[in-house]
Structure 1
């Protein structure tokens, strides 16, 4: 018997969203999106990673600000550091001012230019450790299994550590300077432009927060993030940030600080700061999840419980992947990326990547671009039988140790399985991937776009 909750969930996900009118399809997509976000939030992983980032932040916040302060000093915007820190800690009230003064005191005592080579290496090592953990958390929300190349990670880290803060503070300085010009003052004197400009000025901090979130979502995950999904995640995180900040400042900060002061005395501000850090990281990860689902709407078509493909489905997906990649190879078009395969097969990226990893592990495909996850055949397709493709799913990989642990006493079972292999070999052993490609129109991707039937729950029966 299904519980009431399970019946509601099944009702939401059993409907074929493509068969509904546009307004019902949009409404159901919104309901599914809310359901997925609640699942992600209460799953515990986002919370766990946010708490881990709090600990790492406590260790690295002073070195990070010290390095950013040194870089911004070269641009003449270092005086904006403390006001920006105070703005971030504003929801903490008086404790926020005390924490900001403590941090800036530590930063003033950190002389980056006087550090030795070992000290400087340790300083940057702590910062890189923080950003590496941030990237790992983002990769989790984006279902990315591996980190990017060293060059890509270095450029992203450099952007976050140095370029990002400089751009934010320069933008603030340019905004302030522009408002003080004679042209701006003349516009302010004319209504309703004065009121509109006043409102726009008050919106600048919110826009900068959204821009900072969007910038982070574009560069931190080890995958190509489009601007619109990153912006949607930035807007969601920015609104949530301001809402939680208001609640924290008006309700939580006073009560929490009072309770902790009675117990921990002068250490109370530390606990309040850690709670605000936890909320900050959690909001950042929630916004990243919003950006992910915006860029991958296919997750709104398949319930998370149905992401585990059966062996038959895995065989079908592996054959379709090899066919699409073979089509592009023989048509001399650009090699297929993971995003291309997701758009073609209408399956979640996580399911596609699992099959790609198996095909590459067995030597059928090779990844020619670690950043874009672009694949091409590793061997001539006329030498790759369909049996070899199916075996990537049915047999353990060359790096697997599981096969050595199987019990060899069940001779009858092994005999049956060998008969299955012989039957498959008779049907699939004489036909190659090239034969399948030749049966299709390789002059375009019409097959890829239209003829591939998405796997559904009916295939699981």
Structure 2
């Protein structure tokens, strides 16, 4: 069993006594469970390791990415100096050092002349910029238990559009909000209605926080290669925004304020770079923690003290594959709408990673197929009247194939193993080869037991004949 952060706390948070508590206490325990699993993930060290990796990638890709992003602004008459307020806000916890770093980064961006780089230089600049977002996506996909990343074409299309159009939309929104708040209508209303003036001052003070929350929410909804609900992204954005402001205040009060006697005394001229890397690490860690929060909000089936990896043994995969095919078949024969992977999670009370693994196996075996919806819904890809349960089990067992190691000398067979394997296949074919997915999907209590025992065995169909012929061979 996986190790957990604290066994006593976990036993209390997931004890059966919670159901007897008042509603407000149950809600607090519910929130505490989310905090526990996120802290447990942090304690395991994978998130901190990936945050450090992103710091290194950021140092290499920050200037090219900003140069590509804000090159569009120059075409609309905007200068890189308009990037300065956003950079200063991000580096505010570093105090005066943040102002110096902001000036250097903007100076680097001003020195990047895209028009004189040439085709190869522009391509390299775009690749360096996109590689940072690709690294972020890989980390987010790990947190979201996703095995497939965006294709190369989708990366350039999605990331390129964000880098080129995103800054324009951000600055347009900032300019529009500023013009609205300083407009004549708002000014005249604030003169006659005192609460309007209070509201405007409150919105002006809250604008930086709202911008940070909106930026985090956008990251959580766009970067993972899956559909993230607005609720999950918004909750994670609020949590990350609060953490960013709180830890930023602590970093500026404790680390930066003590740098004259501490960091500067040790690193001298390199202290600014050390402080910048420390704050970058904290910022990336906050972003990854928020992504973990978004994942658990959208997939509460993972909010358990242990076993959050989604791994399943072969017996569990076989059982889940039969359940998926039975539910899919019943809905097909009843004329109901096919289900998505997320709906199978809710229906079968299992983790999304196990469902996706089984669906992938069944799809590769040609038993089911996704439709064109987003997210896709899964339909039968073969007549369920002829697909035997043995084929369903084989689809899971054969996924990935057997690893062949190339040696010059052929491997020696282990006596008896081939006979045992053949016997297992024969027994399974005799037991499941004559039962189809339709039989399982439309079965009632006890009917499948009769088919398994042979008391109500139907004539062997095409699937059963094929399995029997295969066994005889």
Structure 1: distance between partners of 2:373 and 2:137: 16
**What do residues 98-138 of structure 1 show as CA deviations (whole Å, max 9, x unaligned)?**
11111111111101122200000000000111111111111
Give the equivalent residue in structure 1 for 2:27.
26
Q: Say whether 1:380 aligns with 2:380.
A: no
Superposition RMSD in Å: 2.9
Moved more, 324-333 or 82-91: 324-333
Give the equivalent residue in structure 1 for 2:73.
72
**Do the aligned residues in 2 keep the contact of 1:86 with 1:97 (CA within 8 Å)?**
yes
- Select which of 229, 248, 251 maps to 1:248: 251
Moved more, 399-408 or 362-371: 399-408
Give the equivalent residue in structure 2 for 1:187.
189
- Select which of 421, 424, 442 maps to 1:420: 424
Structure 1: distance between partners of 2:242 and 2:147: 29
TM superposition shift of 1:361: 3.6
Q: Say whether 1:266 aligns with 2:255.
A: no
Give the equivalent residue in structure 2 for 1:177.
179
Q: 1:76 to 1:215 in 2, by over 3 A?
A: farther
1:94-105 correspondence to structure 2 within 5 Å: 94-105=96-107
Give the equivalent residue in structure 2 for 1:93.
95
Give the equivalent residue in structure 1 for 2:241.
238
Q: Say whether 1:35 aligns with 2:36.
A: yes
Give the equivalent residue in structure 1 for 2:468.
none
**Do the aligned residues in 2 keep the contact of 1:17 with 1:301 (CA within 8 Å)?**
no
**Do the aligned residues in 2 keep the contact of 1:396 with 1:403 (CA within 8 Å)?**
no
**Do the aligned residues in 2 keep the contact of 1:141 with 1:292 (CA within 8 Å)?**
yes
| Unaligned stretches of 5+ residues in structure 2 | 445-473
Q: 1:330 to 1:123 in 2, by over 3 A?
A: farther
1:53-72 correspondence to structure 2 within 5 Å: 53-72=54-73
Q: Secondary structure at the match of 1:376?
A: strand
1:381-396 correspondence to structure 2 within 5 Å: 381-393=384-396, 395-396=397-398
Q: Secondary structure at the match of 1:144?
A: coil
Structure 2: distance between partners of 1:54 and 1:234: 21
| Unaligned stretches of 5+ residues in structure 1 | 441-461
**What do residues 52-99 of structure 1 show as CA deviations (whole Å, max 9, x unaligned)?**
111111111111111122112233444421121111111111111111
Structure 2: distance between partners of 1:331 and 1:302: 38
Structure 2: distance between partners of 1:383 and 1:147: 35
TM superposition shift of 1:381: 2.3
Q: Say whether 1:219 aligns with 2:222.
A: yes
Structure 1: distance between partners of 2:420 and 2:40: 42
**Do the aligned residues in 1 keep the contact of 2:5 with 2:43 (CA within 8 Å)?**
no
- Select which of 283, 294, 305 maps to 1:280: 283
**Do the aligned residues in 2 keep the contact of 1:77 with 1:169 (CA within 8 Å)?**
no
TM superposition shift of 1:293: 1.1
1:294-305 correspondence to structure 2 within 5 Å: 294-300=297-303, 303-304=306-307
Q: Say whether 1:210 aligns with 2:213.
A: yes
Moved more, 145-154 or 11-20: 11-20
Give the equivalent residue in structure 2 for 1:146.
148
Q: Secondary structure at the match of 1:439?
A: coil
Q: Secondary structure at the match of 1:199?
A: helix
**What do residues 224-272 of structure 1 show as CA deviations (whole Å, max 9, x unaligned)?**
1111111111111111111111111111112246433223322221111
Q: Say whether 1:48 aligns with 2:53.
A: no
Give the equivalent residue in structure 1 for 2:414.
409
**Do the aligned residues in 1 keep the contact of 2:369 with 2:380 (CA within 8 Å)?**
yes
TM superposition shift of 1:335: 4.2
Q: 1:5 to 1:250 in 2, by over 3 A?
A: closer
TM superposition shift of 1:19: 8.7
Moved more, 68-77 or 5-14: 5-14
Q: 1:301 to 1:228 in 2, by over 3 A?
A: same
Q: Say whether 1:131 aligns with 2:133.
A: yes
TM superposition shift of 1:149: 3.8
Give the equivalent residue in structure 2 for 1:196.
199
Give the equivalent residue in structure 2 for 1:437.
441
Structure 2: distance between partners of 1:91 and 1:265: 20
**Do the aligned residues in 2 keep the contact of 1:257 with 1:268 (CA within 8 Å)?**
no
* TM-score of the aligned structures, taking structure 2 as reference length: 0.84
